[in-house]
Amino acid sequence: MTESSAAFAQLELAIVEARGILQDLPEHDVVSRLHELKLRSFVLLCHAAFEEYLERVSLAVLSNSLKAFEKDGVVRDPLLAAGSFYKIVLANEINVRFAGDRLQDVLDVVFKRAISEHKKAVDENHGVKTKDQDVLFLPLGIRLFEFDRILSQSLNSFGELRGGMAHGFGMKTIAPKAGQEAKIHNMIRLILSFDNFLCERHVVKLDQ
């Protein structure tokens, strides 16, 4: 059975909770200002859930790769990619370590520093658009657009929709309940495929 991450389980729960807002809305009509506000709130909550998922799983890939390295000494690709992306210089770390230290201990310091830099980048991230996807996954050696351009473009479009919802109450139309739920269902399906890929590729349970 294909594994999914703890972050994905949290995403599913957040979406279920967000759907509660739509419980009493008609499927295909937006008949009042209250209905419109509930639909807008649903979009904002789903966007927050997607953003949190992407951030969580990005950090989980690195932290779980580090745990596996500390256990078996095998360097995983995300650790190498992060070290290179954040320009952590191995020679600098060797110079400040005792000569008797094992290479694995030195690498451990390098990888932890790279993860620390990535946490800073994640903390400063605000969104799910293409530029945000790159902030979260390029340091891991993953370009989401190349993995699944439909998912990447769907997240980008949803980020733009969220921006309109949050800052443009002059928007004239909003999709009714059925349209919003269909969109979210499709995005969850695409995200699950990406999540499965991350779990399988790194051969670790993404449990953080």
**pLDDT at site 91:** 55
pLDDT tens digits, residue range 145-172?
A: 999 999 999 999 999 998 877 665 555 5
Confidence of residue 6 (pLDDT cuts 50, 70, 90): very high
Q: Would residue 23 count as lying in a domain?
A: yes
- pLDDT higher than 70, residue 99: no
With respect to residue 171, please indicate whether it lies within any of the assigned structural domains: yes
What are the tens digits of pLDDT across the range 9-55?
999 999 999 999 999 999 999 989 999 999 999 999 999 999 999 99
Range of weakest confidence among 76-85, 132-141, 160-169, 196-205: 160-169
Domain limits for position 190: 6-72+126-202
Q: Report which DSSP code applies to 99.
A: T
Asked whether residue 86 is domain-assigned, the answer is: no
Per-residue tokens: 43: 């979009």
Position 59 scores a pLDDT of 96
In a domain, 99, yes or no: no
In a domain, 82, yes or no: no
This prediction has a pTM of: 0.90
Residue 91 maps to a domain = no
- Number of domains, the chain: 1
Neighbours of 157 (CB within 10 A): 14
Q: Is the pLDDT confidence value at 66 over 70?
A: yes
Phi-psi region at 167: left, alpha or beta (left = phi > 0; alpha = psi -120 to 50): alpha
H helix runs in the chain, sequence order: 6-19, 33-72, 77-85, 90-95, 103-123, 130-137, 144-147, 149-167, 177-202
pLDDT over threshold 80, residue 111 = yes
Quickly tell me which residue has 């370009």 as its tokens: 143
180 in a domain, yes or no? yes
Q: Is residue 155 part of a domain?
A: yes
